[in-house]
Each structure stands twice: as C-alpha cells, then as structure tokens.
C-alpha cells in the first residue's frame, strides 16, 4: 500500500536483473536464515540473551561491508566492536564457584546451542543488511534519477519480503508435517 501511495503501483518497477539478484539474497540470508535461527534461539535461551547476542549483527555487517563494499573500519568502530564483545562475554560467562579448586574456571551460563543459533541469526541479519545496501545501490543505478531513495527503499523491502515469504513457504512445505502444523496453528484461536 505504501508503494502504491508513493508511485500509484502496487509492485516495484525499474529493477535490473542485477538489482533483483542482489535484493533476493538478503531475503534468503536475512529473513529466512537469520530469522529461522532467531526463533530457534528464542526457544533455547529466551529473548533477553538472544537480543543481547543480536548486538553482534552490526559487527558482522561492518566486516561484510569491509569485504563486499570496501568500506573502511575505523579505530573507533573496532574499539566499539571490542567493547560489545566484552559486554556479551561478561553477560553469558560466569565463574564456577562450585568448589574451592574450581574457583578460577569460567563456564557459560546458558545453552551453547542457543548461543550458536543466536550468533548465526546475528550473522544472517548483518550480512543481509549489507546485501540489501548493495542491492539498493544497483537498483538506484537501474531505476535512474527519477526514482527517489524513499521509493527504492520501499520497493527493495518489498522484493526482500516476497523472496522471504516464498522461501519460508517452501521450507514449510519441505518439512515433515510442516503444512499440517501450519494449518493447525492458523485454526488455533490463541495463535
């Protein structure tokens, strides 16, 4: 509806094959890969720890943009990354004071699998963000000067979401009993 309000068309226009290729990737990497691991992490380590680990997303975005977009990482950015990593480590690691001989050993206070899933989710979100930027740059070139940055951002979001919905549907279709669970959940009044 927003795209229609600003362009009188319901679907994106003017995207080259290259722009579509770049904008399909974040739909898969950010939405499907990232969100699938995000929901799995929520189940294992709950929202507070998951969101804490999602603060790694800008770190992954910065590293990806360094390699993909050749954007420089300043000393300030690197220092911010180190502070973020230190804060996360302080939160999820605690000393084990079970016995006097073990007082210097550290242990992770939450599920290792949940941490792994949350880190994969942050990776998907960070890399997806950079892929989106690359796609929007390609879209801006193919759409020309008449397309505003606002239009490009809304149309690019539409492309990513369409790809994400298609991929989630295909995943659900391929999972054992996936469609049955989907239809049961839709019929559940609580859901």
For the stretch 95-121, pLDDT in tens is: 544 555 555 565 666 788 999 999 999
Mean pLDDT score, 88-95? 70
11, 38, 152, 155 from 149: Cα distances, Å: 16, 29, 5, 10
| pLDDT of the residue at 9 | 82
pTM of the entire predicted model: 0.80
Tokens of 32: 């499907």
Q: Measure the CA–CA gap between 106 and 188, rounded to whole angstroms.
A: 44
| pLDDT of the residue at 106 | 59
| pLDDT of the residue at 96 | 47
Task: Give one DSSP letter per residue of 82-113, joined into a string.
Answer: HHHHHHHHHHHEEE--SSGGGTT-EEESS-HH
Beta-carbon contacts of residue 176 (< 8 Å; ≥ 6 apart): none
| pLDDT of the residue at 11 | 85
Mean pLDDT score, 16-40? 93
Mean pLDDT score, 40-69? 90
Left if phi > 0, otherwise alpha if psi is -120 to 50, otherwise beta: which for 73? Answer: beta
Q: Is 50 exceeded by the pLDDT of residue 30?
A: yes
CA 39 to centroid of chain Cα atoms: 11
């Amino acid at each position: 509806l927003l795209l229609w309000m600003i362009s009188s068309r319901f679907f994106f226009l003017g995207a080259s094959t290259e722009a579509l290729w770049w904008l399909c990737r974040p739909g898969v990497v950010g939405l499907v890969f990232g969100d699938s691991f995000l929901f799995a992490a929520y189940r294992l380590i709950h929202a507070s720890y998951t969101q804490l680990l999602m603060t790694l997303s800008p770190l992954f975005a910065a590293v990806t943009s360094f390699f993909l977009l050749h954007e420089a990482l300043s000393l300030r950015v690197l220092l911010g990354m180190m502070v973020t990593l230190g804060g996360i480590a302080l939160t999820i690691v605690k000393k084990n004071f079970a016995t006097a001989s073990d007082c210097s050993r550290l242990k992770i206070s939450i599920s290792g699998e949940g941490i792994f899933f949350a880190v994969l989710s942050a990776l998907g979100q960070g890399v997806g963000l950079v892929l989106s930027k690359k796609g929007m740059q390609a879209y801006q070139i193919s759409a020309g000067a008449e397309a505003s940055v606002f239009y490009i951002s809304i149309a690019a979001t539409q492309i990513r979401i369409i790809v994400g919905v298609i991929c989630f549907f295909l995943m659900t279709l391929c999972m054992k009993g996936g469609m049955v669970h989907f239809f049961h959940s839709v019929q559940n009044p609580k859901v």
